[in-house]
Structure 1
Amino acid sequence: MFDCAKDVRAYHDQEVTLPKAEQDQMRNRRDANRSRLRNGLAKAGEPAPLEFVKQGSYAMRTMTRDPDNDYDIDDGVYFAKEDLVGERGAEMTSLQARQMVRDAVDDGKFNRAPEVRSNCVRVYYQAGYHVDLPVYRRVVTKTVFDDEIHYELASSSGWKRSDARDVSDWYEDQRANSADGLQLRRINRDLKKFARSRLSWRAGILSGFGITVVVTERFRQADREDRAFYDTMVAMRDRLDWNLQIAHPVTPGDHITSGPDDTRARCFRDKLTEATDTLQPLFDADCTRERALKCWDKVFATTFFSERLENEKRSALTAPAIIGSATLLGQTAAAAAAVSSAGGGRHA
């Protein structure tokens, strides 16, 4: 396979992963939203949250850059079960808890009002991103020896046992047990970027979380970044050829996909096949760097790789001129020094 390892790594570092400035903006948005919710709850006389827990791709650090700022920040908000009671002392339903959070976070300054969704409250921002607030309650059960604690999500089907931290912990375990946890995360980001590289794909392709699960199942570590990406794509495609169902990694019995012929998983599998086919010229003995980089451009629907080659060509052309100028300057300086040491010039 023609070696484009440095190019694939450069694409990840420059076009895929979020730069520090954007990461800081994400954190600021999250913190501002937390303050807004706390203030809204206090103003309405509602219970204060026990804590907030970042989750999803934001917590796992697998978010990718998006030119349209289509970012999804997941930030779970946790309450004590005993605090979530209605006006007459009855236990809040999962819908009432989400409505309470929606009302508290809506300070009237949004162009689009926050919405109650099936498993969260969604807050929309004019810049294009949104913050999802899943609502949890902490349940404490008294036992003979100690208190047992578990958490439940306010879902569309009622209070469902779940905890955002479980998924983040699972992902860190997967990385720790892999051959190269840092490379796994980079390849994870690259594949999510690939899946969102065409606007026409986004509505019908496997979710980012689904991609993450399959990446952890079939990650193929390699010394070369391009080889790791390609081998992982092939392994994921073969896995989905065999079975389109993807089990939830921390919720027994739950699936990310909707059945044995899930359309989103099938779409992702087919796009992986197209990508691996696109890269086949890299295995030809006469493959050139120009041809190889055009193939990578096609995979990611970008011009990054070809532009990288053009920059290399321009640098190669200007380098001799720069070296020549430096040599000339050096010779001139040497001549001047010689004249000075001989007596200071012709008027001495």
Structure 2
Amino acid sequence: MYNIDKEMRKFYRTKVVLAQSEQKSLIEKKDLNLDRLKGGLKEYNEENDTNYKIVDSMVQGSVAMQTVVQAEENNYDIDVGIVFNKSNLPAPKSSENNTTTVKNIVHDALLKKSSFFKTPPEKRTNCIRIQYANGYHIDFAIYRREKNEQGEYIYQHCGADWNYRNPRSITKWFKERDRVHSFNLKRIVRLLKAYLKQDSSWSVPGGLIQSVLADECIQISDRLDKMLYDTIIEIINRLDIDTEAYNPVDTDDNGNKITLLTTESHKDKMTKMKNYLDKGIKKLSVLFDESCTKEQAFTAWADFFNHNYWTELAENSVQKSLSETFSKFAGIEDDIYDFDETEEFIEDLYPISSTQYSLKIECKVEQKGYRIDSLQNFLRFNKFLNPHKKLHFKIIENTVPYPYKIFWKVLNRGKDAERRNEIRGQIIKGNSGDDVRIENTKFSGNHIVYCYIVKDGECVAKDSIIVPIEAN
């Protein structure tokens, strides 16, 4: 198969992955509208002499799994889970469940902020939807929680009925599977979405089903182009045998798998997706010809993705070298790297408690020939640190009553981290009673060290320090 791994990785990074600034914007939109909902709920409580309160919230779906891809007209969907304590909600009357009542409360609260919306909030079976004029929409999925005998929260989702479902379980599943596949699952899901979104008339299953199929069928390779091709072939073969798909984390009350295809329309979309993939993969047959040229390879991928990135590469490849093509085409620079996205987020693992305790960490710098001094004092005279220094992070203030768990996160930022494929960002449990973490400065960038305290299954305190490192 003709090797265009380098070009595929640059396509993936520059034309498929949603920029960090855009991902941040989606989270900010979530925060803004969550604040609006809470404001509307406050007005609802004042008018109805009630005290309904959202005790937890989290991003779900493709935004949480970070599989959102670039889209025209800002047509993004943001899934947000909101959680109430079960004891805080109205009790069902006689044999009726109270899902409709609870959805009405959230819907009425959002209506009080309706001047911000393109159309009035829409009550759906599984969520309350808000549609915006600039293309994106937000789905508020409602949950209730209560503690079991072990002190753990048990969650139920508000649909046609109350169904047991942990709002963080899908996100946890996907990120664990991404780790198992050496952080390649996210790459394949994004590329699949980029292909299947090229024609707005195509009717295909949603992102969760695409992720389930990608996890089941992924064919790991050190080449991204080959990994994508081989995985699509495996998905086609799998759908030839069976077009069913199951929830990867939840089962019914009898322990049986739960289908993700609840209607005939959903099943029809699986068949259509198989046909779209089959049609697309046939366009790549030239890649296996011994006489295949660079221009033919680019043209084949242009036909597959229907994207001018590949078209312009094909046109330029006739007369220009690869280096010239990339230096002048589409603003692509040589310092764009495809790195493993290893960062984790505490809100994906634990609820953030509304009761926050005080936590403060400090950093001291150790270097040969000098006495240990605080990072604050060091930066007072030097704007940046240099590599090859030892950093001691220590908790100096913590009002959380014991017992609790300490977690640390070290996130590397900047081109050096991407080039070295060392952005890190995993959340790591500290040793029992250990309030110190030692790190070394290795390469330039604005790095961040986070500390979290988790008590009774909730994050109750957090702090962070920015560590600017400059190259020698």
- Sort the TM-score into its range (normalised by shorter chain): 0.7 to 0.9
Give me the CA root mean square deviation: 2.4
**Counterpart AA for 1:285:** E
Instruction: Please give the per-residue CA displacement for 1:24-71, whole angstroms capped at 9, x wherever unaligned.
Output: 210110110111011111111141100111111111101111112111
Correspondence for 2:170: 167
Q: Report 1:25-64 matches (<5 A).
A: 25-45=25-45, 46-64=51-69
Correspondence for 2:214: 215
Q: Report 1:270-309 matches (<5 A).
A: 270-309=275-314
Correspondence for 1:329: none
1:310 Cα offset (Å): 3.8
The one of the two structures with greater contact order (alpha-carbon pairs below 8 A, sep at least 6) is 1
1:276 Cα offset (Å): 1.6
Q: Report 1:53-132 matches (<5 A).
A: 53-85=58-90, 93-106=98-111, 107-109=113-115, 110-132=117-139
Change (3 A) 1:302 1:52: same
Q: Distance in 1 between matches of 2:92 and 2:218?
A: 52
Instruction: Please give the per-residue CA displacement for 1:239-288, whole angstroms capped at 9, x wherever unaligned.
Output: 11111000111122311124799211111111111122111111001111
| 1:119–1:154 contact (8 Å) kept in structure 2 | yes
Question: Mind listing any 5+ residue stretches in structure 1 that lack a counterpart?
Answer: 320-348
Correspondence for 1:336: none
Q: Secondary structure at the match of 1:22?
A: helix
Correspondence for 1:256: 260
Q: Distance in 2 between matches of 1:247 and 1:184?
A: 18
Q: Distance in 2 between matches of 1:318 and 1:281?
A: 24
**Counterpart AA for 1:164:** P
Q: Secondary structure at the match of 2:75?
A: coil
Structure with the bigger percentage of helix: 1
Runs of 4+ in 1 over 6 A off after TM superposition: 86-92
Question: Mind listing any 5+ residue stretches in structure 2 that lack a counterpart?
Answer: 46-50, 252-256, 325-472
Instruction: Please give the per-residue CA displacement for 1:67-106, whole angstroms capped at 9, x wherever unaligned.
Output: 1211110110000011111799999711221121122123
Change (3 A) 1:297 1:249: same
**Counterpart AA for 1:151:** Y
Q: Distance in 2 between matches of 1:129 and 1:87?
A: 34
Sequence identity percentage: 29
| 2:177–2:185 contact (8 Å) kept in structure 1 | no
Q: Distance in 1 between matches of 2:263 and 2:114?
A: 41
Correspondence for 2:2: 2
1:309 Cα offset (Å): 3.8
Change (3 A) 1:125 1:271: same
| 1:84–1:92 contact (8 Å) kept in structure 2 | no
Rg bigger for which structure?
Answer: 1
- Report whether the alignment pairs 1:13 with 2:20: no
Task: Name the TM-score, length of structure 2 as normaliser.
Answer: 0.62
| 2:295–2:317 contact (8 Å) kept in structure 1 | no
Q: Distance in 2 between matches of 1:140 and 1:27?
A: 29
| 2:84–2:144 contact (8 Å) kept in structure 1 | yes
Correspondence for 2:444: none
Q: Distance in 1 between matches of 2:151 and 2:322?
A: 72
1:6 Cα offset (Å): 1.5
Moved more, 77-86 or 260-269: 260-269
Change (3 A) 1:293 1:92: same
Task: Name the TM-score, length of structure 1 as normaliser.
Answer: 0.84
| 1:290–1:306 contact (8 Å) kept in structure 2 | no
Structure with the bigger percentage of strand: 2
1:197 Cα offset (Å): 1.1
Q: Distance in 2 between matches of 1:308 and 1:317?
A: 9
Q: Distance in 2 between matches of 1:193 and 1:318?
A: 25
Q: Report 1:219-234 matches (<5 A).
A: 219-234=218-233
1:8 Cα offset (Å): 1.5
